[in-house]
Chains A and B, each alone.
Chain A
Amino acid sequence: MAKNKTGGFKFPFKLPIFRKFGHDEKPAEQAQNVDKSPPLLKLVFFIVDWSKTQIISNVFEEEKVRFHFISKATGTARTEILDLLGIGSSEKALVLCLEQEVLVPVLLKEVRKKLGFHNPGAGIAFTVPLSGINTPLLRVFKESIHQNEKIVFEKQGGAPMAAETKSEINNDLIIAVINRGYSEEFMTAAREAGAIGGTVIDARGLSHEGPVKFFGVSVQDEKEVVLILTNREKKVPIMQAVSQTCGLASKAEGLVFALPVDSVLGLSFE
C-alpha cells in the first residue's frame, strides 16, 4: 500500500540545517566545561510576505542560523468587508528558527535591513523564550558560543549586548487552534476586541484516541491555527472575546492560549 512509501522526496526548508563552524572541534567534555550555565536560547518567529522568504533564507545563510523551518500561512484582512471582497488577505510565510539570545538582536537587525521592516506591513518578527531543549541540540550552540560572542562584539561595536535583548515592550502571542473554516469569524471577534492583525496556518488535528481509519488510511481533523501578536493590555480582552465566539463550546471548538513574547520588531501599536 502506498501509505508505507516515503517517496524519497523531502523539502529543503523543512530539514534542520546543521552547520559546522570553522574552528577546531573540542572534545565533548571540554565543550561542556566552557560554560556551566547553558546559553539562553530563543525561538524567533518571522511572519513575512511569502515572496520574501528567499531574502530571509539568504540572511539565515549569512548569519549561519541553524534549525529553521518554514510554513505557508495566510494573513488576515484588515476589515471584514475587504475579506469578503477577497482583496484583504495575503500570502505569508511563517519562519521559525532557534537562536542564542545574544545573537537575536544581530539577526533581527540584519533582517530588518534586508526586508525594510521599518515600512509598515512589511512583516513582523518576535522572539519567545525556550524553557527546555534536548542536550545534543544545545551542544551545537555551545560549541560555537565563543566565536559567536566575538561576532556580536564586532557587529555591535563592542557594546554590551545584554541590555539590547531586554525589551521594554510587553507583548504576548495569542495562539488558537480552531476547526477549519472559522478563522474569519475568529478574526472578526478578535478585531472588535482590539487585535490589529493575525496569521492563519492550516493544520491537522491529532487526537489521543488515534485517527479514524478509512480503508486503511487515517483520516484526521482539519484545523486552523491562528496567531495574533498583541500588547499586554489587549491580551485578556481579545482572548475573552475569541473564547466566547470560537471557544470550546462553539462549533469552532477553539483552544486558546498565550505565550510571552520578549522582543518585537516591525509592529506599532499606535
Chain B
Amino acid sequence: MNKVLKEKIMEAFSSVLPITAIVIIASIIFVPMSAGIIIMFIVGAALLIIGMGFFTLGADMAMMPMGEGIGAQLTKGQNMLLAVGISFLMGVIITIAEPDLMVLALQLAKSLNIWVLIITVGLGVGIFMAIAVLRVIIGVPLRFLLLFFYGITFALAFYMTKNGNTAFVPVSFDSGGVTTGPITVPFMLAMCVGVASLRGDKSAKNDSFGFVALCSIGPIISVMALGVVLQITNVPPNSLPEEEITAIAGYTDRDVFEAFLFEFPDTIKNVGTALGAILVFFFIFQLITRRFHRHQLVRILVGFVYTFIGLVVFLTGVDVGFIPVGSLFGSELGASPIKWVLIPLSMVIGYFIVAAEPAVHVLNKQVEEVSQGAITQKVMAKALAIGMALALGIAMVRILFNISILYILVPGYAFALLLTFFVPPIFTGIAFDSGGVCSGPMTSTFLLPFAIGACATAGHMDDAFGIVAMVAMTPLVVVQLLGLVFSFKQKKLAASQLEQKADTIGGVSEDEAGHITVFEEGPAYG
C-alpha cells in the first residue's frame, strides 16, 4: 500500500479511536444509551476517520502551499498598503467560510441573527489578520501586542460585567476560540510561515507563529463590541430538544443511514461556499501574481478536492453522530447523583479528544517543521492533551459550582501573559496559536452540547458557554510551560557543550584558529 496514504489513515485512526472507545465505555458504565444512538456515534466516528485522512492530505497539498505562497508574496510585493489590504480581505473571507463559526452561530440563533454574528466576527478577524501581517513585517514582538489587546479585551469584559451583561462575555470568548477552526488554521499557519520565511534575520523563526493567536483576539473584541452596542443581556443556548433524543433512541439502521444522508447536502453546501470563496480569492491572486505554475496549480486543485471531501465527511460525522451523544451524556450526568464524575470523566475525554481535532495535526506538523524536529509532534500532542484535560476539568468545576468565568479567565490569561516574558518567543507564538487551534469542530459539536447538557440539568444555564474559552486558554499556559522546560534544558546543554568545547579546542591559538588545512589530493575521480 502507498506509504503516504497509509500514514494518513493510521494517523486518523489513532486520533479518533481512543475518544470513541472512551465514550462507549463511559456510556456503558455511567449513561446507558440506546443502540440507535451508539450506532450513530460509531458511524460518525468512522466518517471522522475518513474525513480526517482526506483533510490532512488536502491541507498539506492545497491549504499550506497556498497560504505560504500568499504570505511570501505579501512580503515580496514591497507594498505595505497592499499587504495590509489583502490580509484584511483574506481574514474576512476565510472566517465567513469557517464551518465552526456556523455551528456556534446556530447555537446562538435565539438571540442573534446568525449573519450579524458571522460578519462581526469576520471583520474582527480581518482587522487582526492585517495587524498580524504588519507585526511580522515590522518586527514587533508578539507579546507586546498580546498584552495590549488582551488588556483591551479584559477592560471591555469588566465594563460589560459591571453593566450586568455577564451572559455575553463567555459567548465573546467562545467566538474567539471557535473562529479559528479547520479551514482558517492551516491557512493562517502557513501564511504566517510564508510571511516570516523571506526574512533573513534571526527572529524570522520566532515570528513563524502568532497569526492564529492574534486572529483569535479579533472576534472576542468585535463580538463584545456588538454585545455592548446591541445591549444583549440574555443568551439562551440552543440545546437539543428532548424529543429529538428520544426519537434518535428508537432509530433503526435505516433511520441512521437517512440521518447521515440528509445531512450531507447541507454540509456540502456549507463547505462548498467556504472553499469556493477561498478558491475565487486564490484565482484572483494567481492571475495577478502568477506565482504558481501549471504543475503546482494542478496539485493545489487536487488538494482542494481532498480538503472538500475530507471536511464534508468529517463535519457530517460530527454533526450527526456526536451532538446527540454529547448532549445526552452531559444532561444524564448532570442530573445523576454522582455529578462529581463529570470532572474526572471530562478530563479523560479532553485528554483524548484533542487528537481528533483536525487542525491540531496541522499545527503540530508545522511546529516540527519550523523547529527542524527540535519540538516533535509527539511532545506537542502531549502538551495539548494535558491542556485540554485541564480545560475541561476547570469548565466542569465551573458548571457545578457556578463560578463566574472572569474569575478563571483573568488569572489564567494574566499568568499566560506573564509567562511570555520568560519563555522563548517561538513558544509564545506556538502557545497562543494552539489556543485557537484546539477549539475546533470537536469542541463545538461534542463538548459544547456536553456542557450545555450538563448545565441544563445541573442548574446554571448561562455557564454553558465558556467551555470553548477554557479550551482556548489552558494550552497557552501548558505550551508555554513546556517552552520554559525546553529553554531550561537548552541552556544546560549549551553550558555543557561550552565546557566540552573548551576541553577539545581550548588550546587553539588565534593563528591556528584561522588556519586552513587543504587535502593535497582527494581520491582519484573517474
Verify A3–B202 contact, CB threshold 8 A.
yes
Indicate with 1 or 0, residue by residue over B140-163, a CB within 8 angstroms of chain A CB atoms: 110000000000000000000000
The residue from B198, B201, B306, B517 contacting A134, defined by CB atoms under 8 A apart: B517
Verify B516–A133 contact, CB threshold 8 A.
yes
Kindly specify which of A83-91, A104-112, A146-154, A190-198 makes contact with the partner chain: A83-91
Indicate with 1 or 0, residue by residue over B109-131, a CB within 8 angstroms of chain A CB atoms: 00000000000000000000000
Given A7-B202, A86-B57, A90-B3, is A1 in contact with B139 using a C-beta cutoff of 8 Å?
A: yes
Given A53-B373, A90-B3, A133-B516, is A217 in contact with B292 using a C-beta cutoff of 8 Å?
A: no
CA distance A71 to B374 in the complex (A): 11
The residue from A84, A180, A218 contacting B200, defined by CB atoms under 8 A apart: A218
The residue from B2, B497, B501 contacting A87, defined by CB atoms under 8 A apart: B2
Closest B residue by C-beta to A27: B507
Q: Which positions 9-59 of chain A face chain B at CB distance < 8 Å?
A: 9-15, 17-20, 25, 27-28, 38, 40-41, 50, 53
- Whether A269 is near chain B, meaning CB under 8 Å from some CB there, is no
Among B57, B75, B199, B293: residue with most chain A CB under 10 A: B199
Closest B residue by C-beta to A86: B61
The residue from A133, A181, A206, A217 contacting B201, defined by CB atoms under 8 A apart: A217
Verify A12–B505 contact, CB threshold 8 A.
no
Closest A residue by C-beta to B301: A84
Verify A71–B497 contact, CB threshold 8 A.
no
Verify A218–B497 contact, CB threshold 8 A.
no
Give the size category of A's interface with B. 35 or more
| Interface residues contributed by chain B, number (CB under 8 Å) | 72
- Whether A130 is near chain B, meaning CB under 8 Å from some CB there, is yes
Q: How far is the CB of A183 from chain B (nearest CB, A)?
A: 9
Given A53-B373, A93-B373, is A135 in contact with B516 using a C-beta cutoff of 8 Å?
A: yes
- Whether A234 is near chain B, meaning CB under 8 Å from some CB there, is no
Residues of B within 8 A of A87 (CB): 2, 4-5, 57
Q: Which positions 499-526 of chain B face chain A at CB distance < 8 Å?
A: 500-501, 503-505, 507-508, 512-519, 522-523, 525-526
- Whether B238 is near chain A, meaning CB under 8 Å from some CB there, is no
Closest B residue by C-beta to A38: B517
Verify A20–B500 contact, CB threshold 8 A.
yes
Indicate with 1 or 0, residue by residue over B472-514, a CB within 8 angstroms of chain A CB atoms: 0000000000000001001101100100110111011000111
Residues of A within 8 A of B174 (CB): none
Q: How far is the CB of A250 from chain B (nearest CB, A)?
A: 11
Q: Which positions 340-375 of chain B face chain A at CB distance < 8 Å?
A: 369, 371-374
Verify A84–B512 contact, CB threshold 8 A.
no
Verify B201–A86 contact, CB threshold 8 A.
no
Pairs of residues from A and B, 3 with the lowest C-beta to C-beta distance, nearest first: A9-B424, A2-B139, A11-B374
